[in-house]
A = this chain, B = another copy of it.
Amino acid sequence: MTLGQLSAFVLVARLGSVTAAARALGVSEPAVSQALAALRQHHDDRLLVRTREGMTLTAGGRRLLPIASQMVSLGADAEAAVREAKGVAEELRVVVASTIAEFVANPLLEAFGGRSGSPVEFSAGLAKTAEMPVLVGNRLADAALGPRIDDADLDSMPIFRGTLVAVGSPRRHRGGSPSAWPWLVDPSGTDEKSDAGVLLRKLAVPDERVRVFANQTAAWSAAASGLGVSIAVEHLVAPQLRRRELVVVPTRVTPMPVYWHVTTATRDRCSVVASSLRHFLGTPVAMQIMRSPGSGVPPSRFRPPVFVTIWS
- Min CB–CB distance A50 → chain B (angstroms): 19
Q: Give a binary string over A45-63; 1 marks a CB under 8 Å from any B CB, 0 the rest.
A: 1010000000000111111
Q: Which of B1, B62, B75 is close to A1, meaning CB atoms less than 8 Å apart?
A: B75
Contact A68 B64, CB 8 Å, known A3-B1, A3-B3: no
The main secondary structure of chain A at its interface with chain B is: helix
Which of A79-87, A214-222, A239-247, A273-281 sits within the interface? A79-87
Which residues of chain A (26-56) have a CB below 8 Å from chain B? 42-45, 47
Contact A63 B44, CB 8 Å, known A1-B312, A3-B3, A74-B71: no
Query: Once the chains bind, are A82 and B64 in contact (CB under 8 Å)?
Result: yes
- Min CB–CB distance A159 → chain B (angstroms): 31
Query: Once the chains bind, are A45 and B81 in contact (CB under 8 Å)?
Result: no
Closest to A6 in B: B78
* Interface assignment of A67: CB less than 8 Å from any CB of chain B: yes
- Min CB–CB distance A88 → chain B (angstroms): 8
Q: Which of B63, B71, B79, B82 is close to A84, meaning CB atoms less than 8 Å apart?
A: B63
- Distance, CA A209 to CA B179, complexed state (A): 96
- Min CB–CB distance A80 → chain B (angstroms): 9
- Min CB–CB distance A250 → chain B (angstroms): 55
* Interface assignment of A77: CB less than 8 Å from any CB of chain B: yes
- Min CB–CB distance A9 → chain B (angstroms): 10
- Min CB–CB distance A266 → chain B (angstroms): 19
Closest to A74 in B: B71
- Distance, CA A44 to CA B88, complexed state (A): 11
Query: Once the chains bind, are A85 and B63 in contact (CB under 8 Å)?
Result: yes
Which residues of chain A (123-149) have a CB below 8 Å from chain B? none
Q: Give a binary string over A198-213; 1 marks a CB under 8 Å from any B CB, 0 the rest.
A: 0000000000000000
Given A1-B312, A64-B78, 5 additional A-B pairs, CB 8 A: A1-B311, A58-B85, A67-B77, A71-B71, A71-B74
